[in-house]
Amino acid sequence: MKKLYFLFCLSVVLACVSVASAQKKNFAIEELVSPRLRPTAIWDLTWRAKTDFVTYTDNATGNLMLRNAQNGQESILIKSGELDNQLPQGVSSLSKGVYFVQWQNDQSLVFSHDNRLFEYNTNAKKLKQIAFSPENAANHDQSSAQHWAFTVDENLWVCPQNATEPIAITQDGNRDLVYGQSVHRNEFGIVKGTFWSPDGQKLAFYRMDQKMVTDYPLTSYSTVPAQNAPTKYPMAGQASHHVTVGVWNTANKQTVYLKTEGPSDQYLTNISWSADNKSVFIAVLNRDQNAMQLNQYDAATGNFIKTLFEEKNERYVEPEHGLLFLPNNPNQFIWQSERDGFNHLYLYQIDGTLVKQLTKGAWLVNEILGFDVKGEELFYTSSQVSPLEKHAYSLNLKTNKTTQLTAESGTHDVQLSHSGKYLIDNYSSRQKPRCIQLVDIVKKKTTTTVLDAPNPLEAYDVPSIEFLKLKAEDNTDLYCRMLKPTNFEQGKKYPVMFYVYGGPHAQMNTETWLGGADMFMLYMAQQGYVVFTLDNRGSANRGFDFESIIHRQLGEVEKKDQLKGIDFLKQQTFVDASRIGVFGWSFGGFMTTNLLLNYPDVFKAGVAGGSVMDWSMYEIMYGERYMDRPEQNPAGYAQNNLVKAASKLKKRLLLIHGLQDDVVLPQHTDAFINECIKNGVLVDFFPYPNHAHNVRGAERAHLWKKIFRFFEDFVKPL
């Protein structure tokens, strides 16, 4: 549930600290969405190519700053607005800074602005426009040869360097046939639809034929009368789209389609180029998602060359990472796989022969950071220290020697410098809003601190945020987070907001700022609630067995694990077990409704937003991975079909849904409401007519108000 998780994350707006004080104030509910209360960030922080310098935009001035990782020396590289006089006529000012620069080499940076791609030479101080696109272009992707690919509506275009006109690679795109965009509803690690070869001379791209995919009739309320705004939605068990991969050649301007034979509803995932620009690799996954073949295709002819290897699993295989070729050996690549139970790294020959497993253990690799300049040291982050933390490591490919590179307890987002000698270490922890340091790997020391963000909640009364470890019925560790009410008094009993997500690919409790808690949770603690969250089996970052136990029975194990949290709460003298309200969104809405229906003696009331109510109405890619197709698993679909169970509802339930939701369709909530009506059961509902799978922006404060009032009305009263 990449998508659900992704959107969930957006909802988890950051902020806070664990020392309460009597003089400190509470939040106004409208403040919860304020950027002021989030830790300061630095935009655009990146390594200058082939150097050990970083560049970034200064928040205050908009200047592009340069800093030496070796000694921390800082200077202005480009003053805000400095390039304005070199801009073509009619292009808007750059005075707000040059954002999201990409370094081509140590003196050439590239950035896009006003539908144009610019290159700036820092030595010559010369700016030039190298490509352009129409105003309605999207999905821009720039090649190393300075070609700019983009989509216009459903067609794919490219603007070669210094061309006077862009070239249409495809022309027959429409709602039913989409080129150059992400496919398979962003599952399998797919986030884009264009893939330049390393030399920038060939462009692999997705073609998605979705004429056989049913429309769901969303309605847009932005006009009077409202308008039909249908969205293609492939529902579990129904017809899926047909994806193929084309390769367009900048030299002859021709497209060749790869001969990806097999059923039209298979998944073409993790497109990768060989280092010699001649082959394209695709992790081809069957619709059942239990068998993957890593296939090689000839980029010039489209011919299938060979299957390097297969991966199978009775539950599911979920490839999410492409091939990464060694910089010093184009015939070897690193492959990530969960095949031994945890996501680990494997070194392969290009012919498909396994050289060796590089990492191993009851922890998982989060991401590969890169190599040193010689290609001898591999850098990655992993959960080895704790499932709650993320640290960076280096691994010598020859000696297998592993070195931990980050020390501070917390979650480290790391970028490796060109030389492999320095890291940008951007980390946070429950106590640390955000710290960005440049680290000398060899000397194991911080050379300079780019940002040590002040506590944005300094003026506020912030609850204590505790982590706990409970045991599942099979003795598995389950991590929990508990916020106690501010102004906590011994001997008093408090109501609970039991917050649940519970779905795969997400982890609520992490050693990050506020422990992953969002501002609304802090608010509720200020309002006198205990706020509790448990990451059940099925959630992320704990390995394949932990996550995949939910297979064919979504909701079943998750419920049991959540009840362990309830058992814990009931034992706490400060908890009033008769006043536990549950709240969740998306998969968490499914969990909330499920818990409330099945444990009316435990929960007093619930708020479920954007909830899946019947997995047969959820999308094919995510849904069938966990549940198989409805006809393959009728019992599993029936077991936690909440629509069918709606008549069991005994407690107050507030359902919320964005009427533009194209992830969890509004029909989930409508069907549940209808079943309630049919059975004479009362339920509450609130729609956000202009919002999709989540309530974003300033209007999110309205959502918090709504949920808070519901808790005050129906959970808090004794």
In the complex, which residues of this chain contact a second copy (CB under 8 A)?
Answer: 30, 214-217, 219, 221, 224-228, 230, 233, 235, 616-617, 659, 665, 667, 670-671, 673-674, 676-678, 680, 682, 684-690, 699, 701-702, 705-706, 709, 713
Catalytic residue, chosen from 661, 662, 668, 691, is 661
Measured from the CB atom, the residue of 26 and 219 that comes closer to a second copy is: 219
Specify whether the CB–CB gap between 57 and 66 falls below 8 A: no
Specify whether 693 is catalytic.
yes
Q: 647 in helix, strand or coil?
A: helix
Nearer to a second copy, 73 or 674 (CB): 674
Whether 452 sits among the annotated catalytic residues: the reply is: no
Of 242, 344, 412, 693, the active-site residue reads 693
Closest separation between CB of residue 700 and a second copy, Å? 10
Q: Which is nearer to a second copy, 217 or 330 (CB)?
A: 217
**145/149 Cα distance (integer angstroms):** 11
- For 620, how many CA atoms within 13 A lie in the half-sphere containing its CB? 22
- The rounded radius of gyration (Å) of the Cα atoms in the chain is 26
Q: Is 394 among the catalytic positions? A: no
Residue 498's nearest CA partner among 472, 527, 533 is 533
Q: Which is nearer to a second copy, 368 or 681 (CB)?
A: 681
- What is the secondary structure of 548-617 as a DSSP string? HTTTT-TTHHHHHHHHHHHHHHHH-TTEEEEEEEEEEETHHHHHHHHHHHH-TTT-SEEEEES----GGG
Shortest Å distance, C-beta 216 to a second copy: 5
**Residue 11 CB, nearest approach to a second copy (Å):** 16
CB of 687 to a second copy, least distance (A): 6
Rounded CA gap, 470 and 480, in Å? 7
In terms of residues, how long is the chain? 718
Least CB distance from residue 221 to a second copy, whole Å?
Answer: 5
Interatomic CA distance for residues 248 and 189, integer angstroms: 23
Least distance in Å: CB of 586 to a second copy?
A: 19
**620-627 vs 2-11: helix crossing angle, rounded to 10:** 110
Q: Say how far apart CA 669 and CA 28 lie, in whole Å.
A: 30
Nearest CA among 365, 334, 371 for reference residue 349: 334
Residue 293 has, within 13 A of its CA and on its CB side, a CA count of 14
Coil/strand/helix, residue 153:
coil
For residue 684, the minimal CB distance to a second copy (Å) is 7
Out of 80, 274, 586, 616, pick the active-site residue: 586
Nearer to a second copy, 184 or 691 (CB): 691
Q: Which of 398, 313, 364, 693 is nearest to 541 (CA)?
A: 364
Q: Indicate the residue among 222 and 301 with the shorter CB distance to a second copy.
A: 222
| Residue 343: both structure tokens together | 């996501």
For residue 651, the tally of other CB atoms under 10 A from its CB is: 18
Count of CB atoms situated within 10 Å of the CB of 19: 11
Closest to 236 (Cα-Cα) out of 296, 187, 305 = 187
Instruction: Spell out the residues 6+ positions from residue 275 whose beta carbon is closer than 8 angstroms to its own.
Output: 198, 325, 330
Between 215 and 545, whose beta carbon lies closer to a second copy? 215
* Shortest distance in whole angstroms from residue 667 CB to a second copy: 5
User: Closer to a second copy at the Cβ: 33 or 294?
Assistant: 33
Which residues have a catalytic role annotated? 586, 661, 693
